[in-house]
Amino acid sequence: MAAPMKKMSKFRNCIYWKSQGTVSFTLFKRYFGQPIVQTHPHLIGQDEVTPGINKQEYQQRRTSLISNVVEKTAESIRNHIMIFPSASKVYMTYDIPYPFRQNTEFLYLSGFQEPDSVLVLQTTENGYKSVLFVPKRDPDRELWDGPRSGDTGAVSLTGVSEAHNSDDLEKYLHNYCKTHCDYLVWYSMTKPVHLNFHKSVISEFLKQEGRKSIQNPIQLLHQMRLVKSQAEIKLMKKTCQIASEAFVDVMRCSHANISESTLYAKMDYECRVRGAEILAYPPVVAGAGELVLMDAGCEYHGYTSDITRTWPVSGKFTPAQRRLYLALLDIQEALVTSCRPGVTLAELYQAMMQLLAVRIILLDLVPSSTMAKDELKMKKILCELCPHDVGHYLGMDVHDTPSVSKNRPLEPGMVITIEPGLYIKSTNTMVPEEYRGIGIRIEDNVLITEGDPIVLTADCPKHPDHIEAIMAQR
């Protein structure tokens, strides 16, 4: 097997199979624009559209979205058409594209990874159908850009009802107008995902007389994405595991005078060699004197992690750093323990501020008389010491499902970040000198369950003793 397998890797679009006891290889004319089980068996399983998520789950997502839509509108409206464009290819400069990142909503509903595509979901007499419009096969372009799935490939890959070339979208929508009336269009008008499709085809369709109104489907989708399925939880665990392990390597390689860009590059490398496709965002790497604060996470098969750690490049916390750090760690751990069904992010923010108020008095960061006398002033001081929120929802996007209120009670299956911080300006003469210029944040990713919360980033060390032990291994 070894020799032919090696040869195979040159032809990543070949399909090979076993027949009558012999292994035969055939160079197929059938190409796909993304990994499939026949070409990438090490990456993707049977029946999966994207690694870890199978056709049935994608189908279920489309079905529950359509059911939601029908349920939430008046019975008199029978016809619904939902339009979800993919991301477009964006160029840095002549012929040089930015790394492609699929639009999240489009990916969540189709699993299709090619740019310049559109997913249409529409109610029919006996239910609904899903129609994918995809880039036309083009051997000349594919030579440079890599293979495309084409219309027939897209159907077998994703399991949608039908697929066409994206050039045919205009004709398709035109035909829809002619054969339907009193229909509702579900489309994100305020922030068109794909400007070309929006200008050239979709806005024309929206002007047609037959439609009743245009609704934004984003909130419904965010509500669905908020609670993760078992398959999604598995992917969330993996993306958090990768970033946690990468952080340990980054800590271990850091030393006095290390540049921020070296830490960035190390994080990027350690995440990618563990299977992540890309970092989830440009890492925040901030050196404040002897401490480095790094906020970084990765994206693994469409799911993101988001971790922050703060550590001393010398390998040892100073007594003042340790005091502040332990105070913040106490707060962070108390908040993590509170992540239970029924609690909201807004409540967790209030809890963070209260815990912080107590701590900064104990640490003599602010005279206790101020706290008692002037509540407004105290609030201002607290907001200066921690000017950001306690956390956010996490999933396919880093700041996931942003249309969901922070007053929404947590539910099992939701993933959030818990990230209190404590930042003391070097110019803050109100606090003892030894604390000035210290900035600390500790951020974990937490899965809500019926019982105790699960810290998905638990393998990323956060206790000072643990961090110092790792730094001692250098």
CA distance 269 to 243: 11
CB of 183 to Mn ion, least distance (A): 40
> Distances in Å between the alpha carbon of 117 and those of 13, 29, 219, 311?
21, 22, 22, 44
- Burial of 34 per CB tally in 10 Å (0-12, 13-18, 19+): buried
CB of 344 to Mn ion, least distance (A): 17
**Residue 202 or 285 with smaller CB distance to Mn ion:** 285
User: Shortest Cβ distance from residue 292 to Mn ion (Å)?
Assistant: 17
| Residue number, 130 or 457, with CB nearest to Mn ion | 457
Q: How far is the CB of 457 from Mn ion (least distance, A)?
A: 11
Cα 86 to Cα 107: distance, rounded to the nearest angstrom: 8
User: Which residue, 130 or 417, has its beta carbon nearer to Mn ion?
Assistant: 417
Structure tokens at 197: 């499709």
Q: Does 445 bind Mn ion (CB under 5 A)?
A: no
**Nearer Cβ to Mn ion, position 198 or 392?**
392
Contact map string, positions 147 to 186, toward Mn ion, x by CB under 5 A: ----------------------------------------
Looking at the Cβ atoms of 114 and 400, the one nearer to Mn ion is 400
Q: How many residues of this chain bind Mn ion (CB under 5 A)? A: 2
Alpha-carbon distance of 440 to 356, in angstroms, equals 13
Q: Pick between residue 201 and residue 422 the one whose CB is nearest to Mn ion.
A: 422
Smallest distance, Mn ion to C-beta of residue 336, A: 14
Task: Report how far apart, in Å, the C-alpha atoms of 271 and of each of 239, 274, 296, 454 are.
Answer: 9, 5, 10, 22
Check binding of 400 to Mn ion (CB under 5 A).
no
The nearer residue to Mn ion, 215 or 241, going by C-beta atoms, is 241
Does residue 444 belong to the site contacting Mn ion (CB under 5 A)?
no
Task: Tell me the closest approach of the beta carbon of residue 399 to Mn ion, in angstroms.
Answer: 8
Residue among 39, 401, 417, 457 that touches Mn ion (CB under 5 A): 417
User: With respect to Mn ion, which residue has the nearer C-beta, 149 or 417?
Assistant: 417
CB of 125 to Mn ion, least distance (A): 46
Q: What are phi and psi of 149, to 5 degrees?
A: -80, -30
Q: CB of residue 395 vs Mn ion: minimum separation in angstroms? A: 12
Nearer to Mn ion by Cβ, of 48 and 306: the residue is 306
**In angstroms, rounded to a whole number, what is the distance separating the alpha carbons of residues 238 and 273?**
13
- Span near Mn ion by CB under 5 A; candidates 62-70, 231-239, 334-342, 412-420: 412-420
* Candidate ranges 117-125, 222-230, 414-422, 452-460; the one touching Mn ion (CB under 5 A): 414-422
Q: How far is the CB of 417 from Mn ion (least distance, A)?
A: 4
Binding of residue 306 to Mn ion (CB under 5 A):
yes
Does 241 interact with Mn ion (rule: CB under 5 A)? Answer: no
Q: What residue ranges bind Mn ion (CB under 5 A)?
A: 306, 417
